[in-house]
Every structure is written in C-alpha cells, then in structure tokens.
Amino acid sequence: MKTVLITGASSGFGEAVALRFAKVGWNVVATMRDPSAAGPELGSWPNLLATRLDVQDRQTIASAIEEGIQRFGGIDVVVNNAGYGLFGIFEGVSREAIHAQFDVNVFGAMDVVRAILPHFRSKGSGMIVNVSSGAGAIGFPMASIYSASKFALEGWSEGLSYELDSIGIKVKIVEPGGATRTNFMQRTGAESGRQQPIEDYAPFLRSIGTLYEGMGSSADPDAVEKVAAAIFTAATDGSNQLRYSPTDDIQPILNARRSSSEQAYRSLTLGIFTPKAA
C-alpha cells in the first residue's frame, strides 16, 4: 500500500488529488494550514489522514511528515500543490507581498522537499510532483510575480530532477491552466485589493482586464478533474516525462512557446497582450 502526502489539500486541486488517490486505495496524508477546514468528503476515508502543514512553518512540515510515516509506515509520493497567485502591475505590488509569494510558491516547496529527502534516500526511492502553472512557462502581464515564482519552481524542479534521478528519486512538474472551481481566483482577488493603483497603467489594465475576462470564460470546465488525474498519472506512470500540461485552454500558447521560433512566439504574445506594440 503506497502513501502520498499533499500540501494545500483544503480545497481545489489539492483536495481533488487527495480524493483521487484515496479512492484507488492509496494512503493519503492530506495536509493543510487549518485541518478543521478540511472538506467533508476527506473525512469519510479511513485511509486518509488530514493534518496541519503550513509551508511557511518548517516545524509543521517536519511534524506532518513524521505523523504520516508513523501512521502509514512511510511516504512514497509528495505533491507540492500549496500556492496562490499574486496578480497586479509589478510597480503596485509591495516588496513584502513579493517575498510572501516566493515564500509560499518556491521556498515552501523547497522546504517540503528538503524535509522529505532523508526519508526518500533511506528507501532509495520517492516521487515529487510540483504543481506549477501555465504561468510557469509563459510570462503573463499582471502576473509577473506569480510567473516569476512558478518559473523559479520549474527551473529548480528541472535541475533537481537530474540530481535526484541519480539516487532513484523522481521529480515531475504539472502545469494547470485556468480553473474556476477552486479558491484560486478568490485569494488572487484578495491579494490584488491590497495593491497601490497607479493611474498611468489604467488603459492597459482595462484592455488586459477585458482579455482576461474572455480567457476566464474559456477556462476548461473539467480542469480540476484533469489536473487531479494528471498529478496521479505523473506520480504513477513510471515514465521519465518531466512536464504534464493537462488543460486545453493553455495548449495553443504553450505550443507556441515550445514549438515555434522565439520571434514567432514574441509576435503572437505581443499581439495578444499589447496589440499596439505588435
């Protein structure tokens, strides 16, 4: 019987992934900042332990891992899913907010991996699945800091994958597109509300706002299920594939990023994001 530990399992992709693993008989350590907020469905699985883990608090990382090992005899897979989006014009975002974004999306994931590696090394095996974003491959306006954090997560994951491969431990990256049936946009909206408005950007913000509203309405309605399935596949398919991009909405722009020339990609994205410059 295998065991997965998931961060940020109180809602969204994390909760869906926890249920996905639990339903096929895995032991699940579903971690979250406030276990009393665990969705009712999580409580109905005897093979699922909901426990506290705040990726900004290394003590809770250590104790959640220890609790999982004690309860289930070991941990085979770690899913670094906890994260949020800091959206807004760079100049209007405070230095503190930028540090907090990296603290959760990047340093939090690194601390979880640092804490699990001795256990994985002692077993000679292990799997790490890091949840990035389409914004981990593409720099989106109004999301430059979020993109920077997910680019950092991806660069670290890719480099790390070679180091860990040499000792039998795998690293995977999952890149979801937009999903509306999670708490992501709610938290993003709350973060945006704390920013300094700067009048000079107002026309740009209006056009980007209209563009993003259109993109939001074309978000893949099955994104949550697709992302949960992709995380499960990444963890279990036995392949050496690094990246998984499961939602349809970002495929055209990801393909342009990865399969066309730098100039063709630049022309396409200028046309989308700053039409006057294209």
Catalytic residues: 132, 146, 150
Q: Which residue is nearest to ligand NAP (CB)?
A: 12
CA distance 165 to 5: 20
Q: Are strands 3-6 and 77-80 parallel, antiparallel or unpaired?
A: parallel
DSSP secondary structure, 153-212, as one string: HHHHHHHHHHHHHTTTEEEEEE-----SSSSHHHHHHHHHTTSPP-GGGHHHHHHHHHHH
Give the residue, chosen from 182, 208, 254, 256, that forms a contact with ligand NAP under the rule CB under 6 A: 182
Min separation Cβ 7 and ligand NAP, Å:
5
Contact between residue 5 and residue 29 where contact means Cβ atoms under 8 Å apart? yes
- Closer by beta carbon to ligand NAP, 73 or else 189: 189
Residue 184 as a binder of ligand NAP (CB under 6 A): the answer is yes
70, two tokens: 């004690």
CA distance 30 to 19: 9
How many residues sit close enough to ligand NAP to count as binding (CB under 6 A)?
29
List the beta bridge partners of residue 83: none
Residue 81 as a binder of ligand NAP (CB under 6 A): the answer is yes
Give the residue, chosen from 10, 27, 245, 269, that forms a contact with ligand NAP under the rule CB under 6 A: 10
Q: What mask, x for binding ligand NAP by CB under 6 A, covers residues 158 to 177?
A: ------------------x-
Residue 104 as a binder of ligand NAP (CB under 6 A): the answer is yes
Which stretches of the chain bind ligand NAP, using CB under 6 A? 7-8, 10-14, 32-34, 54-56, 81-85, 104, 108, 131, 133, 176, 178-179, 182-184, 187
